[in-house]
Structure 1
Amino acid sequence: MRAFVIPHDGANIVELAEVPKPQIDDDEVLVRVRAVGVGIHDSYFFPPDVRYPFPIGIEAAGIVEEIGGRVTGYHPGDRIAYVSSMQPKGGTWAEFVAVSTDSLIIPIPAGMDFATAAAVPVAGNTVLRAFHALTAVPSGGSLFIAGGSGALGTFGIQLARQRHWRVGASASEVNHDYLRSLGAEMVVDYHDPDWTSQVRDWMPGGVDAAMAVQPGTAAETARVVKDCGQLIPISGDSAATERGVRLETMPYQVDVSDGTMQLMSDIEAGNVHVEIERVYPFEDALTALAKVQTRRARGKSVLRIA
């Protein structure tokens, strides 16, 4: 099969290669991949027992081709979206993937295409887990999202509005109307050195909580949070906080599968928008990865495998 791989230990390149189709264990399903969600960290996550050449990638959507002997609940022909990371048999940038049933696997609604489905699992479950940690935001409370135009921010704004939260967000000026269309009440340009004061003018005393999506933004974002409010840095930043602001860690062990399935249903019903900046042919995967790694994308980039 074709796969984009790290060719050998110590290699700092990703290349297209022919590799064997994975053989599944009793607790795995074999998936024929139809679309891949492209993420910044796709070429960085490896299991401790990695074997080269190693296919990269974390999320995708496709069709179940085969099931292991102990697998229940899945059948050949099922359309699924999934997160499959740190697996020794490789990631999702491949024509076939062995997916453990311990992974986050979400049925694709009948009216949803594979490209849309592949854009949901990582960003959707990350935002849902972050919101699980944000206990300080009541109905009618306020949330600020530092980095609102990417896949995480796109879902974050809309899911916060579903919770009846007031939402502010930052992005470059070209994306301000886009964020307002998603439901952001207040938008600032992160290039403006005075953006934190603008947020404080909008929400005197500070917001109840904030999400810092981009690396290196947690410390500055903490300035717009009220005393004893919450800040969750999605990128894992560490930052000294003052005024009792609580720096939360991502609760990665929280099960958000039900919430992710509801999100898929809301997308199919048109209640939540998925922004796909571009769908690339599989052969152009490295161009897509380079674009995403600039951190200047709007929404999600996706690969399509014919």
Structure 2
Amino acid sequence: MRGRDAMKAMVIDGFGGPEVFRVADMPKPEPAEEQVLIRVAYASINPADWKTRAGLLPVVQGPFPMVVGMDCAGVVEAVGPGVTAFVPGDKVIAMSGLGQGMSGSYAEYACVPEMRVLKLPSALTLAEGATIPTAAASAASTIIEVARVAPGSTVFFSGGAGSVGTFGVQYLKWIGCKVATTCSTRNVDHVASLGVDRVIDYTKEDTKAALAAWAPEGVDAIIDAVGQHSLPADIVDVIRPGGVLVVIQNLLTDVEAYDLDGAKARGIRVVNNIMDARKPDARWFQVEAWRELVKGIEAGAIRTPPYEVLPLEQAGAGQARVEDGHVRGKILLKIGDI
């Protein structure tokens, strides 16, 4: 029988494949200073989650047993000393404190630094809210802090059907940019419905040629949200001199996948989305940009991606699908009935 001080969680006892997950009773965390304890309704499965499980994230190397999970939606259970923005009962969305001395979100409860928590936008369900944190933060930080995209710019943001792409292209349109993206045939109508100016079906079109025809004077920025050599190395040729290419780091390919010499010769900055976004206090990583994008959600200008829900016990199977790629929107883990 699970006591009041224990919680159900999916844990790993070491790094490995999806099979390393097991259900366990773990101590229920207590919020320390400036921390919020959340009773979790849903956690989303992010690419960083399977990379954590596989031991690929340098900032997350134990201890074991480990609860993984980068974000969640739920209800505030308790707050630690110094917390002023939240009270018990608030419905919230949050980026977890995994990698910062706290456990992840694949559990009935999660402690999170206060600044990494936002109130659930009033028009959304908790499930819809759970699609937001990590994906929206990654998209917003890349656009605002790293690419430094100005309103009215011409931008190519690859992977428009994924959760990061869904948030990214909509935020760019909200700030007045001209936007192109890629997706497969089955997702063309969905991506077009997000307001994108040019949807490139990568299964039928040459992406570089399509971009050159769409923006003959070049694009101001390219944001690669897919990686793994999905774009040609010479895609830098369609960027205007002085422009930027940002690779959303996936730990499988990075900036070396592109023609760095050609980019340098034309004054094009080629960077990944992590280095330029780091903060002296790691708790603030991507937080400020995330808050800017959520304003667009609250205004009704940005909608959340489609999702499907799996039980917590299927965390391994869900991660395997995300690792395989081509998931439209998000996969969520149902954890608590709230």
Q: Same fold (TM over 0.5)?
A: yes
Instruction: Report if aligned partners of 1:214, 1:235 keep a CA contact under 8 Å in 2.
Output: no
**Structure 1 residues 134 and 69 mapped into 2: Cα distance closer, same or farther (>3 Å)?**
closer
State the match for 1:277 in structure 2: 307
Q: 2:104 aligns with which of 79, 91, 108?
A: 91
**Alignment pair present for 1:253 and 2:260:** no
Q: CA deviation at 1:289?
A: 1.6
- 1:280-299 to structure 2, matched below 5 A, reads 280-299=310-329
Q: 1:26 aligns with which of 33, 41, 44?
A: 33
SS of corresponding position for 2:255: coil
**Structure 1 residues 72 and 220 mapped into 2: Cα distance closer, same or farther (>3 Å)?**
same
**Structure 1 residues 228 and 69 mapped into 2: Cα distance closer, same or farther (>3 Å)?**
closer
The count of aligned residue pairs is 303
SS of corresponding position for 1:176: helix
Instruction: Report if aligned partners of 2:246, 2:271 keep a CA contact under 8 Å in 1.
Output: yes
SS of corresponding position for 2:314: helix
Per-residue deviation, residues 188-244 of structure 1 (Å, max 9, x unmatched): 233457221111011113211110011234635434322321101012612342132
Moved more, 251-260 or 65-74: 251-260
Moved more, 260-269 or 25-34: 260-269
SS of corresponding position for 2:217: coil
**Structure 1 residues 141 and 72 mapped into 2: Cα distance closer, same or farther (>3 Å)?**
closer
Q: CA deviation at 1:164?
A: 1.3
The structure richer in helix per residue is 2
State the match for 1:300 in structure 2: 330
**Alignment pair present for 1:160 and 2:185:** no
Instruction: Report if aligned partners of 1:51, 1:88 keep a CA contact under 8 Å in 2.
Output: no
For residues 49 and 301 of structure 1, the distance between their equivalents in structure 2, rounded to whole angstroms, comes to 24
For residues 49 and 197 of structure 1, the distance between their equivalents in structure 2, rounded to whole angstroms, comes to 43
For residues 292 and 205 of structure 2, the distance between their equivalents in structure 1, rounded to whole angstroms, comes to 39
SS of corresponding position for 2:221: strand
State the match for 1:144 in structure 2: 156
For residues 290 and 15 of structure 2, the distance between their equivalents in structure 1, rounded to whole angstroms, comes to 36
- 1:30-69 to structure 2, matched below 5 A, reads 30-45=37-52, 47=59, 50-69=62-81
For residues 61 and 207 of structure 2, the distance between their equivalents in structure 1, rounded to whole angstroms, comes to 45
TM-score by length of 1: 0.89
Instruction: Report if aligned partners of 1:212, 1:221 keep a CA contact under 8 Å in 2.
Output: no
Runs of 5+ in structure 1 lacking a partner?
Answer: none
SS of corresponding position for 1:57: coil
TM-score by length of 2: 0.81
The structure, 1 or 2, with the larger RCO (C-alpha pairs under 8 Å, 6+ apart) is: 2
State the match for 1:225 in structure 2: 239
Q: What amino acid does structure 1 have at the position aligned with 2:224?
A: A
State the match for 2:4 in structure 1: none
For residues 25 and 138 of structure 1, the distance between their equivalents in structure 2, rounded to whole angstroms, comes to 39
For residues 294 and 187 of structure 1, the distance between their equivalents in structure 2, rounded to whole angstroms, comes to 23
- 1:182-197 to structure 2, matched below 5 A, reads 182-192=194-204, 194-197=206-209
Q: 1:207 aligns with which of 205, 219, 225?
A: 219
Instruction: Report if aligned partners of 1:210, 1:230 keep a CA contact under 8 Å in 2.
Output: yes
For residues 141 and 41 of structure 1, the distance between their equivalents in structure 2, rounded to whole angstroms, comes to 29
Runs of 5+ in structure 2 lacking a partner?
Answer: 1-6
For residues 100 and 182 of structure 2, the distance between their equivalents in structure 1, rounded to whole angstroms, comes to 35
